[in-house]
Structure 1
Amino acid sequence: MTQDTLSEAEYDAITDAAAHWCMRLHAVDCTPEERAAFEQWRDAHPLHAFEYDAMLEIWDVAEHLPRPEPVIAPPASKPASTWRHYAIAASVIALALPLAAYTGWNMGWLPNSYQHFEASDNVRQVTLKDGSQVELNLNTELTYSNYKDERRVTLKKGEAFFTVSHDLTHPFVVKAGEGRIRVTGTRFNVWMYEDQVRVNLVEGSVLVASNAALPGDGVRLGPSMQAQFRHGDYRPQISQTYANDNSLAWRSGKLVLDNLALNEALPLINRYLSNPLMLADASTGAIRVGGVYNIKEIGSLVNSLPKVLPVYLTRNAEGNPVINSMPKHLPKT
């Protein structure tokens, strides 16, 4: 068959098959034979791979859906993760069925719209379905889902600046790492690297929680305030920012290092690198670095470090560049 001659029934059959394979490949009892059969199906027509990739994005949304407590516990022979996969798979299939999706929307379980955005080599500005504007820094990925009771963004990696459309009855929630940022309409920036998250508020107010599983709405930020947290933090650390704060310089294509210790500067540098810089030891991390750099040319910053600092570069077993402080020479006797 060719894509030009597919009937509606054939399209529906491909969608159903993509949902089936998405469920099976995530199941704990999926066999090597099934995986081989999936690969054969996927390669049989370009639309198969397209529909399967779309199902994977729906699966990602379903991972974050709230689940009601089961009335009857599942049999002991079925591991909990298996039952969770079945529940997510049901959501995947439901999104392919209009009536089930409508019911899921009214119950607040399923979104009525979903968007996925990535920025790799260039800063990118996008508009969400609710009219909110988002600027994505390099190497950034996020998703947007519109639920009946809230608008939900998951920042998977990178950094984004949000200008959120005001809606008191429909809060805007950003999930980053283990935490969340909750707003109704404001302008703010979220930076994430590994397990570290930093939130800078420009206008309005936000509630920041360092762990979405903890009770309460979090700590409220006002304009020119910053919150930072990482894995395991019970509460975010709050600080004041000033007029000369450079944390949003990326919007102009710049990374500004204002006399920072290397151990503070490396997370800012590394999120632009495919092979992150490492520190040889704590004393090397205390060396300070400054300067203004083009975010598209951070690789040149790595090579220039030995020219501006008392350091030299080596590589570890994984191929990552390692910064070493120059040895101190013994005084002459």
Structure 2
Amino acid sequence: MGGERPIPKQVNRQAAQWFAERESGDMTAQDEARFRQWLAADPRHARAFERAAAVWQSMDAPMLAPIPRPARREPGRRMQPARGHRRQWIGAAIAASLALFIAVESDLPTRWRADVMTATGEIREIRLPDGSTAMLNTGSAIAFAPDGRTVTLLKGEAAFQVAPDPAHPFSVKAGKGASTALGTRFIVRQLGDGARVTVTEHSVRVALARKSAVLREGEAIDYDADRLGASRPVSVADADAWTRGRMRVVNRPLGEVVAELGRYHRGYIRVIGDDLAKRPVSGTFDVRDPVGTIDMIQRTLGIGSTRLTDRMILLHC
């Protein structure tokens, strides 16, 4: 009694891509035939496709095409919309947003390991057993030792305010590195297989393999699996603005700003076009209302958008 076999990540990605191509209206008769072959090749393909459709509907997004059934071929009544760049944008955005949601919902290993997790758009502060506090940013997870003095950042970002206890150092592990508090406040953000450490008060020692660096207030450092970067100055007010539900930017490219806002949005936001993505943006924005912030940026820059509800927003000239 093995039950249903789990769906591999690759199959989920394929299902998201097929769903996107059907919804965007760019499939030819040959594409439809290949899709039907893929659907019938493995029962998990049909399950994955139905899951992609269910995730899309859970985003309050409109269904632009009927859900196919692998057992028999439905007559092709649907008119194929004209091909064009706009349809390609929509298809790519649907695929990316579905893949993102399915990956988040399938993140069971992190859920099993985590003591605390935050959902997309949620910012939450908790008290650790030793009296220190950890504020988790959107889509983040931590695990901690029983005494609270060793924390592992499993995903996302967290800000720590450390309770003093010289006999028991407070450390945060992320990737292969560790950050040990020499003061009281610092932020750790996961970056791929490494992390970024930012000190907002006093100092922190960051160690990776046999290398280490001491950061002072207003400094940050990045590391990956093999390399510890150089420390650099940062604005503390900008770095910890998210702990107050804000995001402060000065002449940052629109693409970067939108990507950062996307962390707080239960949906998909993308800038279309390299020139537009490079356009500088400055301001203080409310990360608790990413759609309202996007609306304000759109009006300020005088640019357009294509939307399938507020869950999927494509900004363009």
TM-score relative to the length of structure 2: 0.55
Cα distance per residue 1:239-291 (max 9 Å; x no partner): 11347x42212232222222211233234222212234333343222101122
Give the structure 2 partner of residue 152 of structure 1.
150
Change (3 A) 1:288 1:196: farther
Shift of 1:233: 6.3
Matched residues, number: 214
Change (3 A) 1:281 1:192: farther
Give the structure 2 partner of residue 284 of structure 1.
276
Give the structure 1 partner of residue 234 of structure 2.
241
**Which consecutive segments of 4 or more residues in structure 1 shift more than 6 A?**
55-58
- For residue 131 of structure 1, give the secondary structure of its aligned residue in structure 2: coil
State the distance in 2 between where 1:301 and 1:216 align. Answer: 43
State the distance in 2 between where 1:57 and 1:323 align. Answer: 32
Give the structure 2 partner of residue 225 of structure 1.
219
Contact kept? 2:193, 2:225, Cα under 8 Å: no
Give the structure 2 partner of residue 143 of structure 1.
143
Shift of 1:130: 1.6
Cα distance per residue 1:7-57 (max 9 Å; x no partner): xxxxxxxxxxxxxxxxxxxxxxxx724989xxxxxxxxxxxxxxxxxx978
- For residue 302 of structure 1, give the secondary structure of its aligned residue in structure 2: helix
- Match for 2:229: what amino acid? P
State the distance in 2 between where 1:307 and 1:57 align. Answer: 39
Give the structure 2 partner of residue 323 of structure 1.
315
State the distance in 2 between where 1:279 and 1:132 align. Answer: 39
Shift of 1:144: 1.3
Give the structure 1 partner of residue 297 of structure 2.
305
Cα distance per residue 1:198-229 (max 9 Å; x no partner): 322122321234xx5xx225322111111234
Give the structure 2 partner of residue 110 of structure 1.
none
State yes or no: 1:60 paired with 2:113: yes
Contact kept? 2:171, 2:181, Cα under 8 Å: yes
Contact kept? 1:219, 1:236, Cα under 8 Å: no
State yes or no: 1:127 paired with 2:127: yes
- For residue 291 of structure 2, give the secondary structure of its aligned residue in structure 1: helix
Shift of 1:184: 5.0
Contact kept? 1:165, 1:184, Cα under 8 Å: no
Out of 253, 262, 273, the residue aligned to residue 270 of structure 1 is 262
- For residue 277 of structure 1, give the secondary structure of its aligned residue in structure 2: strand
1:62-77 alignment runs, 5 A limit: none
Shift of 1:196: 7.3
Contact kept? 1:127, 1:134, Cα under 8 Å: yes
- For residue 155 of structure 1, give the secondary structure of its aligned residue in structure 2: strand
State the distance in 1 between where 2:243 and 2:4 align. Answer: 46
State the distance in 2 between where 1:57 and 1:158 align. Answer: 11
- Residue identity over aligned pairs, in percent, reads 27
1:186-225 alignment runs, 5 A limit: 186-192=184-190, 197-209=195-207, 215-225=209-219
Out of 282, 285, 301, the residue aligned to residue 293 of structure 1 is 285
State the distance in 1 between where 2:193 and 2:304 align. Answer: 28
Give the structure 1 partner of residue 100 of structure 2.
none
Shift of 1:193: 6.2
- Match for 1:124: what amino acid? R
- For residue 260 of structure 2, give the secondary structure of its aligned residue in structure 1: helix
Give the structure 2 partner of residue 162 of structure 1.
160
Please list every run of 5 or more consecutive structure 2 residues that lacks an aligned counterpart in the other structure: 7-107
State the distance in 2 between where 1:259 and 1:293 align. Answer: 14
State yes or no: 1:260 paired with 2:252: yes
Of structures 1 and 2, the larger Rg is shown by 1
Please list every run of 5 or more consecutive structure 1 residues that lacks an aligned counterpart in the other structure: 1-30, 37-54, 62-114, 327-333
- For residue 289 of structure 2, give the secondary structure of its aligned residue in structure 1: helix
Contact kept? 2:265, 2:290, Cα under 8 Å: yes
- Match for 2:254: what amino acid? L
Contact kept? 2:120, 2:266, Cα under 8 Å: no
TM-score relative to the length of structure 1: 0.53
